[in-house]
A and B are shown apart, each in its own frame.
Chain A
Amino acid sequence: MARKLLLNNVHIEGIHNYDVYRKNGGYAAVEKALKTMSPEDVVEEVKKSGLRGRGGAGFPTGMKWSFLAKPEGVPRHLLCNADESEPGTFKDRYLMEKIPHLLIEGMILSSFALGANQSYIYIRGEYMFVLRIVEKAIAEAYANGWLGKNILGTGYDLDLSIMPGAGAYICGEETALIESLEGKRGNPRMKPPFPAIQGLWQRPTVVNNVETITAVVPIVNEGGDEYAKIGIGRSTGTKLISASGNVNKPGVYEIELGLSVEEFIYSDQYLGGMKNGKRLKACVPGGSSVPILPHYLVCKTANGEDRLMSYESLADGGFQTGSMLGSGGFIVFDEDQCIVRNTWNFARFYHHESCGQCSPCREGTGWMEKVLHRLEEGHGTIADIDLLWDIQRKIEGNTICPLGDAAAWPVAAAIRHFREEFEWHVNQPKESQIRNYGLVADKSFQTENA
């Protein structure tokens, strides 16, 4: 049986309440850390654990924490990025909704490690009901002395505030999040300076994903070395995967990194195989931004090795034949799904969410969406496919923040692996319309029966 570190108590009735959470070993890590460890010890444990950022980039958390500038007399801040808006990702919502005290406990530990006395949770505006749950949990934590002045009599003060976004995907980018938290328009900042030097109100700031912060709790409880034993290679610990698409059991799963993709999709313990016995066509393993994998590259890498759920294995082969673990939004497509339509859908999302600050992303995402829509509707030409390739190439890497890359990668991967399908849409527009929209799409059918 695979080990669960974050979701092991999630099935307990009323775990979102403070009393139940405390009875099941909650806040033990805070007691341990504040009473027996120094902030440096906590950072050291996180470094030993090999924990990597769970928000998408997979940057080692311990290293990120050690980059934090510590000038005398300047307050530092920890921000929790709960602005989970990547299509296909819903793990943070599940965590916060089911077991909000775990996040608060992680926030106390991480803030203690970083020496932050005022921390913020920036939550997605659409998650207003989750905000209420977390708000209640924060109030409970204050009431029981886990937050506020002089926690556990150790002299450590921490205030935790929660702030809703207003519905922008871009505010999940760390510098845009900081701008938004400061009350400004959520435009990403130029880097450098990085938030670790000049972040919120020009103070040193660390921004971490919800799952990263909650993972600090088991690391402190069990020790970094113990945590590092789970997983494979440099992908240590467990990861929440939000699985969706044409599978029998979609949902949030906690897996040990290093699980094989085949087992994850087909075993009954996890996704339980493809729905209705259909065949696997493609898979987006890490949220909409990462390259799509065609069926022959999902379970095996290009070298014929088993593909594993880990940062390295999913990225094996680079963007030519690999993808990324990303934020863990695992989207599975069966044989009936249209890649062109799906790519258009993703492109539409990025067009809608581009902040409009830098030109390649502002203009390019809209252009890609229009060209993809034309292709999807069956009015495209073969030249459109090459045009798309050229547009994505000119966006990628030339923008301020990673949204440009995130918009370009799915389009590039779809063309790379499914060019025939794009060409089929150009050459057989009628068939492609009938497949996507049924007989309604067939104009001749409509007129014949009118």
Chain B
Amino acid sequence: MSEQIQKFTITIDGKSIQVDPGTTILNAARMIGGEVVPPAMCYYSSLKGSGGKCRTCLVEVSKGSEKDPRPMPKLVASCSTSVMDGMEVKNKSSEKVIDARKGVVEFLLINHPLDCPVCDQAGECHLQDLAFEHGVGQSRYEFERRTFDKVDLGEYIKLHMTRCILCYRCVYTANQLTDNREHGILKRGDAAEISTFIEKNLSNDFIGNVIDVCPVGALTDKTFRFRSRVWYTKPMDASCSCDKCNGNAVLWMIGDEIARVTARKDQYGEVKEFICNDCRFNKKEKSQWNIEGPRKISRHSVISANHYEREIPKHTVLLNKA
């Protein structure tokens, strides 16, 4: 007879859900879905240890738990705070949270170049989305931004540190994929930079995934750089038989050509099944893939904008007739 596992009730912005103990506030919010989900730039559910760094997911805990109803004194990072039974959380309904998030967006943008028109990540950039949804129109920063030279990390990956927001996702990815530490952070404070060990090449079979986990355009695919804007390409679900990974990927096509291959991301931009370098960089022929059909991208409005999947409302037709 297994004992019934006790579920915790948590209320976020007035919406309640029952979750298992140990779930984080962010994951509970994702279970509810919709507007109550705080944005997250550094948390990545499949990477152990990620989260807590970007501070965009800060929420206000207005009631600690049923047993101890005191509110938490500070805003907490929802990605790394576990829920308690009876916890009440304010996300968008809290002025403090909105204000703090505006601050974080401004902080993230002060050293980020605002060159989206020439950045490869534009259209699928989480920072772009974040700034659009939560930021303010104008920065008050009037000083020179920090800049770095572009670095080649091996044959396929380009690192442009200037755009990095130091979310540490790629560091965790590289650490958790390989036995040796090859990829990490040098220096500290706003001089900190992502680097391989003295610009050594990254040569793991799965290292291409650092491109997918990067929320901004700091790590980009050299086989795709500057070939096309992402919203001019057609994302197609496809699979192949691969002995290293499970072969489930997304092909981004221009006409009949495969422009690039990425792993499949969920609505929060997270990859659940990593793909290998072979699939990502070398299989650019249509014959190598079994195409399943067009992929719906829900999060990035820019990408889905050109796909004309929406039904044309009937009354417009009627109006035209009249």
Contact = CB atoms under 8 A, between A and B. Distances in A.
A190 B53 CA distance: 9
A208 B104 CA distance: 33
B103 A398 contact: yes
Given A185-B184, A370-B143, A359 B53 contact: yes
Nearest to A352: B189
Contact of B165 (A190, A355, A359, A366): A359
B73 to A, nearest CB: 8
B108 interface: yes
A363 B52 contact: no
A217 B296 CA distance: 68
B189 A400 contact: no
B165 to A, nearest CB: 7
Interface stretch (B74-82, B204-212, B246-254, B297-305): B74-82
A248 interface: no
B189 A399 contact: no
B140 interface: yes
B127 to A, nearest CB: 11
Contact of A358 (B52, B103, B185): B52
A374 to B, nearest CB: 8
A168 interface: yes
Nearest to A191: B80
A359 B189 contact: no
Contacts of B189: 351-356, 362, 365-366
A135 to B, nearest CB: 28
B100 A398 contact: yes
Contacts of B80: 190
Interface string B216-237: 0000000000000000000000
A216 interface: no
A394 B103 contact: yes
A379 to B, nearest CB: 11
Given A359-B104, A362-B192, A398-B75, 7 more contacts: A170-B188, A364-B107, A387-B140, A390-B103, A394-B106, A394-B107, A400-B77
B53 A354 contact: no
A50 interface: no
A366 B145 CA distance: 11
Interface in B78-110: 80, 99-100, 102-104, 106-108, 110
Interface string B165-188: 110100000000000000011011
B140 A359 contact: no
A362 B75 contact: no
B161 to A, nearest CB: 12
Residue in B80, B106, B188 with the greatest tally of chain A CB atoms within 10 Å = B188
A360 B188 contact: no
A366 B190 contact: yes
Nearest to B166: A356
The 10 A-B pairs with the shortest beta carbon distances in the complex, nearest first, are A394-B103, A356-B192, A363-B107, A354-B189, A397-B74, A190-B52, A366-B190, A356-B189, A190-B80, A370-B143
Contacts of A360: 55, 103-104, 107
A445 B274 CA distance: 67
Contacts of B74: 397-398
Given A394-B100, A397-B74, A399-B55, A356 B191 contact: yes
